[in-house]
Amino acid sequence: MYKIQSFSLILLTVITLLSCVPQRKFAELETKYNKLTTDKKACDSINDGYEKDVLKLKADLEKTKDEFAKLSSNFTEMESLYNRVKKTYDELTLTYEKRLASESLTKDELKKSLRELESKLVKKELELNEKEANLIKKEEEAKKLNEDFSTIEKSLKEREEKVKELEQLIKLKDESVNKLKETLTNALIGYKENGLNVTSRDGKVYVSVDEKLLFQSGKVDVDPNGKKALLKLCETLKSNIDFDILVEGHTDNMPIKTARFEDNWDLSVLRATAITRIMTKEGKIDSKKIIPAGRGENFPVDNADSKEARAKNRRIEIIISPSLKEIMNILNK
């Protein structure tokens, strides 16, 4: 083991302040990722509602078509009746003129007959106009229903395509996470006995490293053997540019207070920063894609009050998350 190198009070303060800002960025990304899952469920619910609306519109359209057909049939009948009445009127007019000539009927009788026929003809014309107006109204209703149906059908199709695109992208992200987990497991298998484990959950890869591989008790200098493991990890991660990395420092619940460390928060933050520094400076990981954070004693993996449990809780967790940029681009379309 190596003795700890001394740091000045000013450097400690700067490192502590720098470690606080990136944590918020990670929380925002994690919130967006969770919102994605919620939006996807909301999209599925909206699609179900649109499908019900489409079925109702189809039923209304069929009903309107039936009414339109009946009105068309009535219109045809009324038009035929109007033509017959008009023909009769024309025939009577001719008869009237003939009878005037033959003086077989008086003018008053013929005028009365003509008035009756004219009244009937006007009545039939009014009925025919009313039927025609109803027919035009039904045609307009049918046209509007067709337009509404087309609009909803188009919107539903666009949403289905958007959901399919999101599902495909999420599937690809899950596949990339699983592939990365497998790659890291194979690359770091030689360190498993020394307390390094690779797992995946919630769409992220977790590389958990026990304190014994990285640090002496209460120290922040990284052990050479632990540094080798970190650089091996970095070598694998450099080819996966679509991931963001969070380095979390965790301690046990035993209080610490020294000239250098105020409490477990200080220790966890400085350890996370030390790991981050190695990964960016020596491992060549892009510093824009990595965030150091201190968790202190607040997220134990074992709550038992034992030496073994406390040893498990003293760890570094390197959390690798897929980039949400492509998913957010789809959601913002």
Assess whether pLDDT exceeds 90 at residue 317. yes
- Which of left, alpha, beta for 44 (phi over 0: left; psi -120 to 50: alpha)? alpha
User: Does the predicted model carry a pTM greater than 0.75?
Assistant: no
pLDDT in tens, 156-183: 777 777 777 777 777 878 788 888 889 8
Domains of the chain, each with CATH number or no CATH? 9-37+176-331 (3.30.1330.60), 45-172 (1.10.287)
CA 198/CA 177 separation, integer angstroms: 12
DSSP annotation of 1: -
Rounded Cα gap, residues 47 and 56, in angstroms: 14
Minimum mean pLDDT range among 14-28, 67-81, 97-111, 255-269 = 14-28
pLDDT score for 231: 94
Mean pLDDT of the chain: 81
pLDDT higher than 70, residue 107? no
Give me the mean pLDDT over the 249-269 stretch. Answer: 91
Segment 276-297, tens digit of pLDDT:
999 999 999 999 999 999 999 9
* Eight-state DSSP code of residue 280: I
Residue type, 304: A
Which of 116, 124, 154, 173 has its CA nearest to residue 326?
Answer: 173
Residues forming a β-bridge with 200: 205
The Cα 88–Cα 73 span in angstroms is 23
- pLDDT of amino acid 328: 52
Confidence band of 11 (pLDDT split at 50, 70, 90) = very low
CB 252 within 8 A of CB 297: yes
φ/ψ of 290, rounded to 5, equals -130, 140
Instruction: Find the length of the chain.
Output: 333
Task: Give the other-Cβ count within 10 Å of 328's Cβ.
Answer: 14
Q: Is the pLDDT of residue 139 over 80?
A: yes
Residue type present at position 149: F
Confidence of residue 6 (pLDDT cuts 50, 70, 90): very low
- pLDDT for 4 equals 39
Secondary structure of residue 202 in the 3-state scheme: coil
Start-end of H helices in the chain: 9-102, 107-187, 211-214, 224-237, 264-277, 307-313, 325-331
**How many whole angstroms separate alpha carbon 18 and alpha carbon 23?**
10
Q: What is the pLDDT of residue 300?
A: 94
